Amino acid sequence: MAITRPNLLTNAIARQKYADGVNLLKREFTGPTTKSLGIPGPSRSVSTYDLFVVWHHTAMTTMTPPTQGDRNAAHRGPVFCPWHRFMLRQLELNLQRVLNDNTFGLPYWDWAADGQKPSSQQKTSSIWASDAMGGSGNPVKTGPFRLNSADPKSFRIRIEADVDGTLIQRSHGLRRAIGTTVSTLPNKADTTAVLTLTPYDVSPWDTTSSGFRNRAEGWASPGAPALHNRVHVWVGGDMLPSSSPNDPIFYMNHCNVDRIWEAWLMKYGRHYVPPQSAPTFLKGHRINDQMSSLVSAPMRPTDVLDMRSIYVYDSLSV
Amino acid sequence: MATSRTTVHPTPKSIASYVRKNAKHVKKSQRHKHQSSESVREADYKGHHIVVRTHYEIEVDGRVVMGHMGVSNDGQVHYHPVPNLSFASAVDLVKQLIEIFPDDFGSRGHRMHRKKANTTRHGHMHM
């Protein structure tokens, strides 16, 4: 039976479980070390949660193909939606494991609902309350991911990308600069508009493409950064570099993007392009290509096109 | 149709095993830095093939910035370590890098010179 992914703001139990699960994964060490991953500095164990940070960064720095500098193995091309669906599912499975609850469904943040409010109220939405994701700051001082410098087990950023695009070791509290770089979230007009776009993606299969994917990812004009990208930029701080899964809100953003994609799939059919017959310069983005993996066996876009037997959303009203 | 791979629960042992197997990809991404970036744009127009090569070398207070900068066909400049933003101007992009990576640039006005590393003639540096 499929599990249900709930709205974070209307399900206090899911909220609490998500925070508990993230903190458990942050304290779980299965063997990989910074040394075994080529991250400079003293060799330290890397937590399961931080392995997802490493995975995201690695996919993002894997260019597809290596001869160009736009599309990578998870972004700026067709694989954006299926790769993040793969990543979300792997996190969900790990959260179920450490929570010992196979019914747990990853919650989503309906950021377009908050985007309907005046910009000043967007910053004080209940998602940033102490009993939800905590607030803004350097470091964040409220909520389940706040820094308690006296507690070595407190939530800390341990691995992040530096300005040169290299993973390095750090030890600091979570950073957010909510509403600083851009002042507003995407709103319902944006999410309604993206659902009118077909096909899923189209040549040149990059950040200049028309179609659903490029608009949902947030590159298409007008208004860029838009939708997914805009949420990263609006939250700011640790949500900006390629190590953005460091902020647990990353998954709530992407779960909502996945919900929007699911609404699109329900509306237009479970179609994905490019097909496997597409030229090899699209390797990594075609329907049967293996997607970048780190913590599990790889998957293909075709494997995740219909997840209704695994999970459903409590609402597809985006 | 969802496959069995979407339902198999991981174990600490399986995670360690897959990470061991895939660590080479992480290590590879860690080795590749650029003292300069070349962006190649290609397009076809009325039977003609267009190639535009743009070369960037960036320094802030003498510190060489070594991530990859690219230009998309609409002229927007992007920088790989900042995956959600693009800019009309490379200078605006670098200003934003200073905001996003304060730990890498020191305090205001503090000049951070780095010893230049050996580079290939294409400007790639292998660490």
DSSP codes joined into one string, B68-110: -EEE-TTS-EEETTEEEEEES-HHHHHHHHHHH-GGGT-STT-
SS3 (DSSP) at A142: coil
Retrieve residue A288's tokens. Answer: 């049967």
| CB contact set of A86 (below 8 Å; sequence gap of 6+) | A291, A293, A299, A303, A304
Q: Please state the rounded mean pLDDT for residues A259-277.
A: 98
pLDDT value of position B125: 38
A89 with B6: Cβ contact below 8 A: yes
Residue pair A47/A26 in contact (Cβ under 8 Å)? The answer is: yes
**Whole-angstrom Cα Rg for chain B:** 20
Q: Which two tokens stand for residue A126?
A: 């209940």
User: Residue B35: what pLDDT?
Assistant: 73
pLDDT at residue B36 in the model: 77
Contact at CB, A61 and B29, closer than 8 angstroms? yes
Of all residues in chain B, the one with the smallest CA distance to A220 is: B74
Which chain B residue has the Cα nearest residue A203? B43
Please report the pLDDT score of residue B41 as a whole number. Answer: 83
φ, ψ for residue A305, nearest 5 deg: -70, -30
Identity of the residue in A37, A224, A309 whose CB atom sits nearest the CB atom of B27: A37
Residue A282 has pLDDT above 90, yes or no: yes
What confidence score (pLDDT) does residue B4 get? 67
Give A39 to chain B, closest Cα distance, Å: 7
Backbone angles phi, psi at A53, to 5 degrees: -65, -45
Closest of B84, B110, B64, B77 to residue A217, by C-alpha: B84
- For chain B, say whether A210 makes contact (Cβ under 8 Å): no
The A residues from 120 to 159 touching B (CB cutoff 8 Å) are none
Task: Pick the residue of B21, B80, B87 with the most A CBs within 10 A to test the interface with A by mutation.
Answer: B80
Contact at CB, A37 and B14, closer than 8 angstroms? no
Q: Say how many C-beta atoms besides its own lie within 10 A of residue B122's C-beta.
A: 9
Q: By the CB < 8 Å criterion, does A43 face chain B?
A: no
CB contact (8 A) between residue A224 and residue B105: no
A241:B81 CB<8 A: yes
Counted residue by residue, chain B has a size of 127
Among A80-84, A297-301, B39-43, whose mean pLDDT is lowest?
B39-43
Report CA-CA distances (Å) from A90 to A44, A105, B99.
23, 12, 32
Which of A204, A308, A310 shows the shortest C-beta gap to B7? Answer: A310
Q: Which are the contacts of A36, defined by CB distance < 8 A and separation ≥ 6? A: A43, B19, B20, B23
Task: Report the pLDDT value the prediction gives residue B124, as an integer from 0 to 100.
Answer: 40
Mean pLDDT of chain A: 96
SS3 of A4-68: EECEHHHCHHHHHHHHHHHHHHHCCEEEEECCCCCCCCCCCEEEHHHHHHHHHHHHHCCECCCCC
Mark yes or no for CB contact B16/A32 under 8 Å.
yes
Alpha carbons A38 and A134: distance in angstroms, whole number: 32
Are A31 and B13 in contact by the 8 Å Cβ rule? The answer is: no
Eight-state DSSP code of residue A196: T
pLDDT in tens, chain B (127 residues): 666 677 789 999 999 999 999 999 999 999 877 777 788 888 889 999 999 888 889 999 999 999 888 888 888 899 988 999 999 999 999 999 999 998 898 766 554 444 443 433 333 433 3
Nearest to B22 among A97, A204, A293 (CB): A293
Instruction: Give the Cα separation of A180 and A266 in Å (integer).
Output: 35
Q: Poorest-confidence range of A59-73, A93-107, A176-190, A198-212?
A: A59-73
> Which of B6, B15, B72 is nearest residue A48 as measured by Cβ atoms?
B15
pLDDT at residue B114, rounded to an integer: 44
Q: Do A164 and B97 touch (CB under 8 A)?
A: no
Work out the pLDDT band at A152, boundaries 50, 70, 90. Answer: confident
Calculate mean pLDDT across residues A287-309.
97
A242 contacts B85? CB cut-off 8 A:
no
Query: Is A232 in CB contact (< 8 Å) with chain B?
Result: yes
Region A76-99 average pLDDT: 98
pTM as predicted: 0.93
CB A261 within 8 A of CB A308: no
Question: Residue A141's closest CA among A149, A318, A276?
Answer: A149
Confidence (pLDDT) at B108:
63
What is the structure's pLDDT at B127? Answer: 36
CA distance A114 to A220: 22
Q: How far apart are the C-alpha atoms of A52 and A65, rounded to whole Å?
A: 23
* Interchain contact, B33 vs A51, CB within 8 Å: no
Contact A239, A247 (CB under 8 A): yes
Phi-psi region of A33 (alpha: psi -120 to 50; beta: other; left: phi over 0): beta
Q: Residue holding tokens 């990543």?
A: A87
